[in-house]
Amino acid sequence: MKLTAIQEKQLQDKGISKETLEKQLYRFKNGFPGVILNRAATINDGIVPIKELDADTLISSYEASRDQLDIIKFVPASGAATRMFKFLHEFLNNFNQNKQSINSYINNNKANDLFTFLVGRRDLPFYDEVMESIKKKNSDWSTKSKIEKETIFVEEVLTSNGFNYASMPKGLVPFHKYKDHSATAFEEHLFEASAYASSNGKAKLHFTIAPAFEDAFAAEFDQIKKNIEEKTKTKYDITFSYQSPATDTLAVDLKDNPIVIEDGTLFFRPAGHGALINNLNQLDADLIFIKNIDNVTISSLKQETSHYKKLLAGYLLRLRTQAFEYLHILENNGVPDSTREEIEKFVTNQLSAVLPKDYYKYKTNYQLEHLYHQLDRPLRVCGMVKNEGEAGGGPFWVNNQRGELSVEIVETAQMNKNDQRQKKIAKEATHFNPVDLICNVRNHKGEKYDLTEYCDADTGFITYKSRHGKEIKAQELPGLWNGGMAYWNTIFVEVPLITFNPVKTVTDLLKSAHQLD
């Protein structure tokens, strides 16, 4: 692609090479290979049933070692709350109170979310604040009609003249109403980190955010810090990072021509959460918990959800200890056959790894070399919940680009929807990925892995977006917990649904996990 001087400077400023740009154009024209599903991961076939784990022992071992561990909680939090309030925007844009009632709008548009929102609005965590503001602005509030009151309420929630929640980061939207205050998702993450991700009375949290909102997050922390540290008896070390501009990807039209905007520069978009592997790679700790910003609960449920976090952490420590022990053994000469066989069983039974077809034809030194290579990589334990129709990724056995059979978290967008066998396997999934990960990123010598070496670059995907009313094609990097961790040692563990309480739309805040009794 021939670039103008303006575009060359743009690439230089963003830190994107011409080679990277050409690769992205190639992918638009030729597509990605697509993930090849072998079968769905199920209980005892890729997913460890939680009832088979000795919960008390694992939790006790984790608790006993916590103060000797460097622990970080990593929270992707760059997303705006736009989608949470999407149906309310549609209502304001399309509703005409002179021509229809709100009920007729709901019925004609099958706007069930709007119905739920209006009926349950008094239970929303921001209801009191919104109403207080409305009444200050409307001295004649009591004389207004029902339709006017409901419309004004939506406007106050959404517009820049009101609370403008849809333009805020999701992490700073009030999620839960307590007796003395409303708590944001950001605040709830701090509370729960104290319960399971603190060490020596200190909790480290790292949030990936949009640069424009760092001051807002910092202000929120300053406001709640004293209260939360007193309540949890925990000191907090909060850090932030941004998605690097160098990870942005080009957007093209439907004929794969790069989109050039008015100032002559190319149109780039953020490349999805897969870009965050670079942010994660900047962190170094014994354990890293990963959890999405919107998956939090009210305080009364934190003890139960934290129980499972500690359980998964204890399980990871057990596996890591054994893997490190075997790596030290393999570094010495003269590994007995019985020990080699023991390591083979650990790799296949505990780490869900599959030995190559010709493994038993290898000479012994090559077998030992393969086992070492299999053990010497980042390790993650991922909670999986039973599939109840949630959109998103799930656990599968995959034939990866290296010709290996491995367990991976696969998004729908990565699958070949035109292949009937692949569609059948996808439908057979019994579990869903709630983004509940605990990671080990150091080797047995205490050295940090370069996480970018364990990504599968071929697992990105093409998506269709809209710009100025026209459809365009965008490109996403391999997802952080998908292709971004394709070559990690991965263990799936079934966890209960109580651990998964996402807020995708504002009406999710009316569910029991987000409501005080």
pLDDT at 401: 77
Round to the nearest angstrom and report the end-to-end CA distance of the chain: 61
pLDDT at 391: 64
Mean pLDDT throughout 334-359? Answer: 96
Q: Phi then psi for 247, rounded to 5 degrees?
A: -95, -5
Mean pLDDT throughout 452-466? Answer: 90
Closest CA to 318 of 496, 45, 53: 53
Higher-scoring residue by pLDDT: 262, 400: 262
Checking if the pLDDT of 485 tops 80, the result is yes
For 64, how many CA atoms within 13 A lie in the half-sphere containing its CB? Answer: 9
% of the chain exceeding 70 in pLDDT: 99
For residues 285 and 259, the answer to whether their CB atoms sit within 8 Å is: no
For residues 323 and 490, the answer to whether their CB atoms sit within 8 Å is: no
Task: Classify residue 493 by its DSSP letter.
Answer: E
Tokens (6 digits) for 196: 């399971």
Checking if the pLDDT of 389 tops 80, the result is no
SS3 at position 467:
strand
Instruction: Output the CA angle 43-48-51, nearest 5 degrees.
Output: 95
265-282 residues labelled b (16+ CB within 10 A) or e (exposed): bbbbbbbbbbbbbbbbee
Mean pLDDT throughout 116-122? Answer: 97
SS3 at position 268:
strand
H or E element at residue 191: helix 185-196
Checking if the pLDDT of 482 tops 90, the result is yes
Checking if the pLDDT of 491 tops 80, the result is yes
Mean pLDDT throughout 299-313? Answer: 96
Q: Which residues make Cβ contacts (< 8 Å) with residue 154, sequence separation at least 6?
A: 88, 91, 92
For residues 441 and 448, the answer to whether their CB atoms sit within 8 Å is: yes
For residues 242 and 209, the answer to whether their CB atoms sit within 8 Å is: yes
Closest CA to 273 of 286, 285, 288, 290: 290
Mean pLDDT for all residues in the chain: 95
When pLDDT is cut at 50, 70 and 90, the band that residue 388 belongs to is confident
pLDDT digits (tens, 9 = 90+) for 282-305: 999 999 999 999 999 999 999 999
pLDDT at 222: 98
Checking if the pLDDT of 318 tops 90, the result is yes
Mean pLDDT throughout 129-136? Answer: 97
Mean pLDDT throughout 201-224? Answer: 97
Checking if the pLDDT of 139 tops 90, the result is yes
pLDDT digits (tens, 9 = 90+) for 73-103: 999 999 889 999 999 999 999 999 889 999 9
pLDDT at 466: 85
Checking if the pLDDT of 5 tops 80, the result is yes
When pLDDT is cut at 50, 70 and 90, the band that residue 412 belongs to is confident
For residues 218 and 209, the answer to whether their CB atoms sit within 8 Å is: no
Checking if the pLDDT of 181 tops 70, the result is yes
SS3 at position 82:
helix
- Range with lowest mean pLDDT among 124-133, 263-272, 434-443, 464-473: 464-473
pLDDT at 1: 87
For residues 173 and 165, the answer to whether their CB atoms sit within 8 Å is: yes
What is d(CA 517, CA 515) in angstroms, rounded to the nearest whole number?
Answer: 6
Domains of the chain with CATH codes: 5-78+169-330+369-514 (3.90.550.10), 95-167 (no CATH)
pLDDT digits (tens, 9 = 90+) for 267-279: 999 998 999 999 9
What is d(CA 380, CA 287) in angstroms, rounded to the nearest whole number?
Answer: 10
When pLDDT is cut at 50, 70 and 90, the band that residue 468 belongs to is confident
